[in-house]
Amino acid sequence: MIRVGVNGYGTIGKRVADAVATQPDMELVGVTKTKPNYEAEAATRRGYDLYAALADRADDFAAAGVGIAGTLPDLLESVDVVVDCTPSGIGARNRAIYAAHDTPAIFQGGEDADVADASFNARTSFESARGADSLRVVSCNTTGLARLLAPLEEAYGVEKARVTLVRRGGDPSETGRGPINDVLPDPATVPSHHGPDVNTVLPGVPVDTAALKVPVTTMHTHSVNVTLREAPTTGEVHDLLAEESRIFTVPEAAGIDGAGKLKEYAMDRGRPRGDLWENCVWEESINVSGHDLYLFENVHQEADVVPENVDAIRALTTDLSAAESIERTNETLGVGLESLLTSDEDARDPITADD
Ligand code: NAD
């Protein structure tokens, strides 16, 4: 069993903890919190051992009625790998603590690439993790782009990808980021940093990105244009993407018109927290004109990196192949949404509902 600790139990950490606890070859030893709030209570109720991230606050937990199993150093001594899910920039500060305990570490995409030995995406860079002591799972947007561009590069060659990222302003729990009522170029400099970040896990694929922030909390939307070296048909690109286990092609017949209904669909399908681990590509948006491919995809920022963290744990601690790890992760979590519905011309009539 791979013994895993999660340092930082927020949006990403709680999801990684749940995913780790589901794996047959992993044991979730514990999670840390900086303070005994509602998330600390929820972790305790889930049966997870809680550790104080900051030793000088350990007494606060007992005072609030939440028991702890120890502090961060105790957790680090008990695990084979720690997954750092602390806010951007804190992970880099934690690096020395992990090194002092000789504990291999996985960081998140909010950290700079040099925080770890290698950046990680299971589809594109599993093998580059071999021999590493630390990995950085790339951000939600970068993960989504790498999953999309890798099969296109392999099948047709990518001459140039141009992607506009319409980014959610904050996560649902990030009340401090709003309310806002604007559309912000963010960063205003073009191209944005996301393209170079894609190249940390998918080198050699030319990709330019521009990014905006909008006042939604549900998902990111990517408007994608890829100039391909070959000229496949629209149907061929559809079939290629539909074959990818971490891409969900959303049929027009489903009547899903945006992130709200996508999340509703995830909840209807029984997904924990309404999480969408897959890229969601609108089928009717896929269009090839000559060598130019166009499509829209949505990425659930809170969820798509979760299976990637599970695979990163195996890449760091086992000799399993990428395919074996991805298959195990997908099977245990239930990654790989498919719709029973198919899109055809008849399905193109808009679906209406009165309520
Ligand atoms: P978050 O704020 O929701 O959670 C971070 C948690 O870490 C909080 O519970 C916070 O109390 C705790 N924390 C703060 N300081 C700590 C410390 N010193 N030690 C231990 N815990 C500490 O943040 P998040 O959204 O989960 O982001 C975590 C990382 O994941 C960041 O690098 C972020 O860029 C990346 N990421 C976030 C998203 C997203 O959309 N939320 C998507 C992909 C990647």
pLDDT of the residue at 180: 78
Any atom of ligand 1 within 6 Å of the Cβ of 108 = yes
Could you read off the pLDDT of 255-280 as tens digits, one per residue? Answer: 999 999 999 999 999 999 999 999 99
Nearest one of 196, 207, 11, 204 to 114, comparing CA atoms: 196
Could you read off the pLDDT of 225-257 as tens digits, one per residue? Answer: 999 999 999 999 999 999 999 999 999 999 999
Is 331:246 a contact under the CB 8 Å cutoff? no
- Ligand 1 centroid from CA 52, angstroms: 15
Please state the domain extents for the chain. 2-138+306-333, 140-299
**Catalytic site positions:** 140
| 2-138+306-333: CATH topology | Rossmann fold (3.40.50)
Dig out the tokens for 307 from the structure: 């299976």
- Ligand 1 centroid from CA 90, angstroms: 9
Any atom of ligand 1 within 6 Å of the Cβ of 301 = yes
pLDDT of the residue at 10: 97
| 140-299: CATH topology | Dihydrodipicolinate Reductase; domain 2 (3.30.360)
Could you read off the pLDDT of 51-71 as tens digits, one per residue? Answer: 999 999 999 999 999 999 999
How open is the CA angle 111-317-308, to the nearest 5 degrees?
50
- Ligand 1 centroid from CA 289, angstroms: 41
Any atom of ligand 1 within 6 Å of the Cβ of 139 = yes
pLDDT of the residue at 344: 65
Nearest one of 62, 49, 58, 59 to 17, comparing CA atoms: 49
- For residue 263, the 8-state DSSP code is H
